[in-house]
Amino acid sequence: MPMKEIASWALNTAKSRGASFCDLRIVDERNRSLATKNGKVGHASAAETLGIGIRVIAEGAWGFAATDDMTRGSIERTAAQAVAIARSSATVKQYDVKLAAERPAVADWSGPCAINPFGTSVEDNIALLLAVDKELTSVKGVTLAEANLSFRRYEQWFYSSEGADIHQVRTTTGAGFAAYSFHGTEIQKRSFPNSFGGQFQNKGYELIGELKLVENARRIGEEAVALHSAPQCPQGVGTIVLDSSQLGLQIHESVGHPIELDRVLGMEANFAGTSFLTLDKLRKLKYGTELVNVVADATPAHGPGLGTFAYDDEGVAAQCTPIISNGLFTGYLSSRDTAAMIGQERSGGTMRAEGWSRLPIIRMTNVSILPGEKPLTFEDLVRDTDDGLYMQTNRSWSIDDKRYNFQFGCEIGWEIKGGKLGRMVKNPSYSGITTEFWNSMDAICSRDQWTLWGTPNCGKGQPMQTMGTGHGAAPARFRNVEIGSAYKGS
């Protein structure tokens, strides 16, 4: 059955029931997830799902309903249900929903995928993970080895009563591993190429070759064991250098979430709180130093991030929105209705849903800090740092529900003395206040040191939706930071 015909059943029903607006997403999704643990398969799953989510405005209020029964009768009933929900919502509405204007698009787009990951065999996937596992467990002192792979193919058809007709296909690949070392009462962990699952990008199986998992496994295992003998991270106020993956998470928590306009307006506070970035701060708040330039960029030109697409889930084209410009707070993540609420002419194109059964909400795209314009390698950055700590790979984080006070712990650190990397330290951590922290950044490496990291597990909403976001970053230096308060050493 042609998708356009299926869409017409929903659109016609919504209109006949009195909806002033309707859009819908038909989603065909496929997933594969594999993991090994100490030489054995720890997890293996595959799933496929097809369904439709229908969103309407009736009597000035939103309604949403979804189904995986793709018969005509079911889809018409679901569209009618969405209208009925909107009418019920209208009885308690505070205002009529208004949408920023958007020209309906007709488009067909596919993200990069040189090697179809679903064309690779499960047996070969597991063999790769076991090869990583073997390298890790060959290191004396490694107690637990974990490795994982995951693939996703997400195909979506979007239609609206305004005339939008958009087809998109995105393929996501991710992989990583971790080595744990138990000794006495202490557990140390090293992850690669990042914690919380590794690295994820919107591309095909070619990513796996780029990551060089097996080649890095022994080194990571050795670092996990060596941490037990390393001195505790010192406490005090000093200079820190963050690797690009840790800086990516710092951006996620202290920039990405507070710029979500639904949080700012108090429309989404159930799961993750609100925001300190109230409307009066736009284009007035000094968020960071002149070197801090952050964008929310969903365009394919930004790279194969988990926040990359051609159109968002309400048919708005991908955009690059300046969030922090030479330290000044300049932009929010917005939708068609929230943009209209604050007088913006157009949505920032950041509405996305976890799948067909969920209502689209404002989500981070690729919220990235731009690299420095002057050539600066990591080695240059260290050489220019007389005394400090280099921290790598996130271990833990804590931040308040307005995203203002935070504390981060990393897996591993190194002292910097006289412009050189010195001895390893364990349990490194730092804390601060968001704006004070970004206003302490005095150096960031250039483009050749910049990586677009993928965070596949960002939670938001109620019921919670887990989504992928992207964060580009290069190693950067921060002065006068509170160090070492998270983990008390003996």
pLDDT tens-digit readout, 84-135: 999 999 999 999 999 999 999 999 999 999 999 999 999 999 999 999 999 9
Mean pLDDT, residues 140-151: 98
Mean pLDDT, residues 463-484: 97
Q: Within a 13 Å sphere around the CA of 108, how many CA atoms are in the beta-carbon half?
A: 0
pTM here is 0.96
pLDDT tens track for 193-204: 999 999 999 999
pLDDT classification of 268: cutoffs 50, 70, 90: confident
Mean pLDDT, residues 256-266: 96
Is 470 within 8 Å of 249 (Cβ atoms)? no
Percent of the chain topping pLDDT 90: 97
pLDDT at 485: 78
pLDDT classification of 490: cutoffs 50, 70, 90: very low
Question: Is the bond leading into 360 cis (omega within 30 degrees of zero)?
Answer: no
Residue 12 corresponds to which amino acid? N
In the predicted structure, residue 166 carries a pLDDT above the cut 60: yes
In the predicted structure, residue 141 carries a pLDDT above the cut 80: yes
Spans of all domains in the chain: 3-229, 236-483
Does the domain at residues 3-229 carry the CATH identifier 3.30.2290.10? yes
CA dist., res. 241 & res. 459, Å (int):
28
pLDDT tens track for 51-80: 999 999 999 999 999 999 999 999 999 999
pLDDT classification of 270: cutoffs 50, 70, 90: confident
Two structure tokens written together for 186: 């202490």
In the predicted structure, residue 488 carries a pLDDT above the cut 70: no
- Cβ-proximal residues to 184 (8 Å cutoff; 6+ apart), any chain: none
Mean pLDDT, residues 208-227: 98
